[in-house]
Amino acid sequence: MSLYSKRGVSAQKEEIHSAIRNLDKGLYEKAFCKIYPDVLCGDENWVNVMHADGAGTKSILAYLYWKETGDISVWKGIARDAIVMNLDDLLCVGIFDNLLFSSTIDRNKTMIPGEILKAIIDGTQEFFDQMREFGINITYMGGETADVGDVVRTIAVNGTMTARWPKQRLITNERIKAGNVIVGLAGFGQCSYEQEYNSGIASNGLTSARHDLLHKTYGARFPETYERSLGEEVVYIGPYSITDTIESGGQLSGIGKLLLSPTRTFAPILKELLENHFEIVDGLIHCSGGGQTKCLKYVPENVQIIKDNLFEPPVIFKLIQEASKSDNREMYQVFNMGTRLEIYTGEKDAGTIINIAKKFAVDAQVIGRVTEAGKKELVIHTSSGELHY
């Protein structure tokens, strides 16, 4: 059993998928988000989408960082994580404007003071203001903020995003086919709309990252940050303090800052691409839960996905792998490994996509291709060999 499983989490969410197996899959089974007919207005040419996601256990890292350093601004990044994990999923069905967002914040009041709530709410509005500068309009509808100390030990920051969208402007992944190439967008570096280096960690796999990188003293000092029934062999087993520094992106970065890099949104890039070059996009996949294997859920049944030119994983993933001694198979199943968005397109159109991304200082390159196959398969080329899923 992997360390990830021993900690009570699953990259593939097998039990969740089993629980929802019998639910209506919406209009387009391979679409990245569930899409329904327009029940709001009853227009057959429009659809409705509602999506829920959040920052996950990254909020625990923010709690540790805040307790260790007193820096409350870190909570604004958690607000951004909860939004972007919704927004970039909706981008993958072609939606980039006129969105509604409602937040859900559950806290243990004895651990989380009101100033943290204010930082999260302020950070939410600041992100929406920034996106509006790019023509991406998201209305903040408020939400639920609840004191539920009997349910949560620290805080959970989540949200729901809703949109009404024209059916003819959807990306449903039904056009993904043999002959496509895959343009990958990097989640790391510093793009034009970020204030500092982004490690690329995003908001998946943070349970493993936290326990594998941070040392035992965190469990002793902050027992509220982990499930007490877990075995000591999987709880805070790493070599680092949150305030330790390493070289990353050509400069010294703190371990805590690398782990807490806010999830990069690709909204400004996708808005330009989908508004001006909609016809060249055959599919979009956000490498979130499930990491580099996420695509298997959304591509057709008769294709092989070959990823033979992924970005070199940035330093945060190398640190996690060294500390956890996880093999490549598990790392690529749990983490995005630096390549966080996949755009399926024709070979002749890849350059157009890459050039748009680079206008925003986001690295982009052809990371792979789609070929015909008797059954669906994913092949990932790494420096130490091929991985087959």
Residue 330 contacts residue 4 (beta carbons within 8 Å): yes
Strands 99-107 and 138-147: parallel
By CB neighbour count within 10 A (0-12 exposed, 13-18 middle, 19+ buried), where does 353 fall? buried
Query: Quick one: which H or E segment has residue 82?
Result: helix 74-91
pTM check: above 0.85: yes
Look at residue 171 and give its three-state secondary structure: coil
Largest Cα–Cα separation, the chain: 58
Give the tokens for residue 121. Answer: 């709410």
Q: Could you give the CA distance from residue 122 to residue 130 in angstroms, rounded to a whole number? A: 12
Calculate ∠ Cα 97-99-101, nearest 5°. 145
Which regions of the chain are under pLDDT 50?
A: none
DSSP string, 191-255: -TT-SS-B-S-TTSSHHHHHHHHB-THHHHH-GGGS-TTS-GGGSS--SB-TT-EEEETTEEEEH
Q: What are phi and psi of 73, to 5 degrees?
A: -65, -20
CATH architecture of 3-196+260-388: 2-Layer Sandwich (3.30)
Predicted confidence at residue 341, as pLDDT, reads 98
**Residue 52, beta-bridge partner list:** 160
**Residue 28, beta-bridge partner list:** none
- Report the candidate in 77, 71, 72 with the shortest Cα–Cα distance to residue 58: 77
Q: What are phi and psi of 263, to 5 degrees?
A: -60, 125
Predicted confidence at residue 252, as pLDDT, reads 77
How many residues make up the chain in this entry? 389
What contacts 145, CB < 8 A, 6 or more positions away?
A: 103, 104, 105, 107, 117
